[in-house]
Chain A
Amino acid sequence: MGSVGAKDVPVLIGEDGRRIDGRRADELRPMKITAGALHQADGSAFVEWGMNKVMAAVYGPREVHPRHLQENNKAIVQCRYNMAAFSVDERKRPGLDRRSQEISKVIAEALESVVFAEEYPRTSIDVYIEVLQANAGTRCAGVVAASVALADAGIPMVDLLPSVAVGKVAGHIVLDLKKEEDNFGEADMPMALVPQSGRLVLLQMEGRLSKAEFATALDMGVAGCKTIYGTMKQALRDRYNVTGSDPTEAGQ
């Protein structure tokens, strides 16, 4: 952010080592996941993470449109990441842009690596990710929502896919950047992890980190993913323990 004068930069890390919202360096923002939030979709999830709100819907496996994308030996995973016009402070022009196309692609590839696509040849698994409110880390929230939605849709998977961003802010490596930290920080590195195997299926980076910093950041991110993994599993358990109140339940 070269154009921003030093005066405008908020104090990102206080003298007590606390961050702008009072978190420690390795602390996540509060997260809430609701599995099965939509009725029409085969699977869905709503993720509220800090000030992010992201909805994901999964359809399929179903017939591929357009036909020529179909693969004879496996299912394809198609993903559309989209930010609502009202999701950011200044109205975002609706529709596809370079950023959302890139994110759609990396998320689709990350998800494809965890689903057993060979079980449904010539079909498509369609994932729709809608960002309703954005506050940095929406692609991570999108991956989390999408993989819970895939599980909710009953699609066979290797594992759930927790995801988090790590970054460098005011010289410190911190976990799960929020908007100010992302805008004024030195580096931002989103990642997605397959917890059981420890494989990374999404790793991007903006800014610069030294080798040592990168190693620290990676460890911190992996630890963060493990925590999120627990939240995701709990969300799926909760989905099926809930029985809504019903008139006929009385006297049961």
Chain B
Amino acid sequence: MGGRLYASVLGLLQRRPPLVRVVPLSGRYIPKAQDVVVGTVCDVQGTFWLLDIAAPRWAPLHMTGTPWKIDFGETGQYLHVGDSVVVGVEAIENTGRIGVTMLGEGLGKLEGGTIVTISAAKVPRVIGRGGSMITTMTRLTGAEIVVGQNGRIWVGGSPEAIRRVRECLKLIERQGQRSGLTEMVERYLKSSQPPPPPPVEPLSTLVERPAPGTEVFVANPEPDGALFPEGVDGDVPPPEDN
């Protein structure tokens, strides 16, 4: 416009003469062919499922794109609404339809574990250069991690491992613009080993601390079964188990 260029999205300017590029800082996941994404089933139809992959639109997963041999109408027996799957993006048709498949290495239905959602713009940081960040996290926590390009990350393993990976992911999401992230995460995980007791103020803000008044109960836990302390009348608030 008027011999000048204007960005249409909020982002960081990158000058690589003769090109300029704007790296977006936020925004929904925009699917690309070959991407591996984590999706959730949100509708079951006769021959396909509709998946929410955090993209602008739902993605249909046709039954021919699955490892199962299904007859018409049997789709509901394999995947239910709310199930999570790892799928590959096959193609974006010019109607905007997102074709996905479950055939391929590492693709399939997810059982157990937890899904952590972060901004899709931060996914490269979670993977790290040549996968370094993933390796660090898997090595130091023993968790199993599947990263979807759409910002959904499936974490499996022991509850403790899942908890620690989740904290790392939160850390990465908040500190995503900084350099030396892998080292920071490594230091964080090492400093918080061994597990007990719950290490390091767990990234504060999100965790509600008990009000000062309730600390009595935390410091002197009641013996099992006794909900109210002896000798005190009913005006004591029920102990809050933190």
Which of B8, B28, B174, B175 is within 8 Å of A42, CB to CB?
A: B28
Selecting from A9-17, A164-172, A214-222, A242-250, the interface stretch reads A242-250
> A158, B56: Cβ atoms under 8 Å?
no
> A120, B8: Cβ atoms under 8 Å?
no
- Chain B, 141-192, CB within 8 A of any chain A CB: 171, 174-175, 177-178, 180, 184, 187-188, 191
Q: Is B81 an interface residue (CB 8 A)?
A: no
Given known pairs A155-B27, A156-B9, the reply for A248 and B178 (CB within 8 Å) is: no
> A248, B27: Cβ atoms under 8 Å?
no
Q: Give the complex CA separation of A197 and B1 in angstroms.
A: 9
The interface residues of chain A lying within 8 Å CB-to-CB of B58 are 63
Q: Mark B115-140, 1 if CB is under 8 A from A, else 0.
A: 00000010000000000000000000
CB distance from B6 to the nearest CB of A (A): 7
The interface residues of chain B lying within 8 Å CB-to-CB of A61 are 28, 56-57
Q: Give the complex CA separation of A75 and B96 in angstroms.
A: 12
Q: Give the complex CA separation of A93 and B174 in angstroms.
A: 40
Q: Mark B1-31, 1 if CB is under 8 A from A, else 0.
A: 1000010111100000000000011111000
Q: Mark A6-42, 1 if CB is under 8 A from B, else 0.
A: 0000000000000000000000000000000000001
> B10, A236: Cβ atoms under 8 Å?
yes
Q: Mark A43-60, 1 if CB is under 8 A from B, else 0.
A: 100000000000000001
Which of A151, A247, A252 is within 8 Å of B10, CB to CB?
A: A151
- Chain A, 75-110, CB within 8 A of any chain B CB: 75
Q: Is B200 an interface residue (CB 8 A)?
A: yes
Q: Give the complex CA separation of A155 and B9 in angstroms.
A: 6
Which of A158, A159, A243 is within 8 Å of B178, CB to CB?
A: A243
Q: Is B235 an interface residue (CB 8 A)?
A: no
The interface residues of chain A lying within 8 Å CB-to-CB of B105 are none
> B9, A154: Cβ atoms under 8 Å?
yes
> A248, B8: Cβ atoms under 8 Å?
no
Q: Give the complex CA separation of A240 and B119 in angstroms.
A: 14
Q: Is A152 an interface residue (CB 8 A)?
A: yes
> A120, B56: Cβ atoms under 8 Å?
yes
Q: Give the complex CA separation of A61 and B96 in angstroms.
A: 13
> A248, B171: Cβ atoms under 8 Å?
yes
The interface residues of chain B lying within 8 Å CB-to-CB of A197 are 1
> B56, A243: Cβ atoms under 8 Å?
no
Contact residue range for chain A? 20 to 34
Q: Is A204 an interface residue (CB 8 A)?
A: no
CB distance from B122 to the nearest CB of A (A): 12
Given known pairs A236-B10, A248-B171, the reply for A123 and B27 (CB within 8 Å) is: no
The interface residues of chain B lying within 8 Å CB-to-CB of A139 are none
Contacts between the two chains (Cβ within 8 Å), count = 76
Q: Is B240 an interface residue (CB 8 A)?
A: no
Which of A75, A116, A157, A247 is within 8 Å of B200, CB to CB?
A: A247
The interface residues of chain A lying within 8 Å CB-to-CB of B187 are 248
The interface residues of chain A lying within 8 Å CB-to-CB of B184 are 248, 252
Q: Is A62 an interface residue (CB 8 A)?
A: yes
The interface residues of chain B lying within 8 Å CB-to-CB of A121 are 95-96
Nearest CB in chain A to that of B10: its residue: A151
> A60, B56: Cβ atoms under 8 Å?
yes
> B6, A196: Cβ atoms under 8 Å?
yes
The interface residues of chain A lying within 8 Å CB-to-CB of B171 are 246, 248
> A116, B8: Cβ atoms under 8 Å?
yes
The interface residues of chain B lying within 8 Å CB-to-CB of A196 are 1, 6
Q: Give the complex CA separation of A13 and B137 in angstroms.
A: 65
Q: Mark A109-127, 1 if CB is under 8 A from B, else 0.
A: 0000000100011110000
Given known pairs A123-B57, A155-B27, A196-B1, the reply for A243 and B8 (CB within 8 Å) is: no
> A157, B8: Cβ atoms under 8 Å?
yes
Q: Is A193 an interface residue (CB 8 A)?
A: no
Which of A122, A152, A244 is within 8 Å of B57, CB to CB?
A: A122
CB distance from B136 to the nearest CB of A (A): 14
**Cross-chain pairs A/B with CB under 8 angstroms, 29 sampled:** A42-B26, A43-B26, A60-B28, A61-B28, A62-B28, A63-B58, A75-B56, A121-B95, A122-B57, A123-B56, A151-B9, A153-B28, A154-B26, A154-B27, A155-B9, A157-B8, A157-B9, A158-B8, A197-B1, A240-B25, A240-B177, A243-B175, A244-B174, A246-B174, A246-B175, A247-B203, A248-B184, A248-B187, A252-B184
Contact surface of B with A, Cβ cutoff 8 Å = 1, 6, 8-11, 24-28, 56-58, 95-96, 121, 171, 174-175, 177-178, 180, 184, 187-188, 191, 200-201, 203, 205
The 3 residue pairs across chains A and B that have the minimum distance between CB atoms? A154-B27, A156-B8, A154-B26
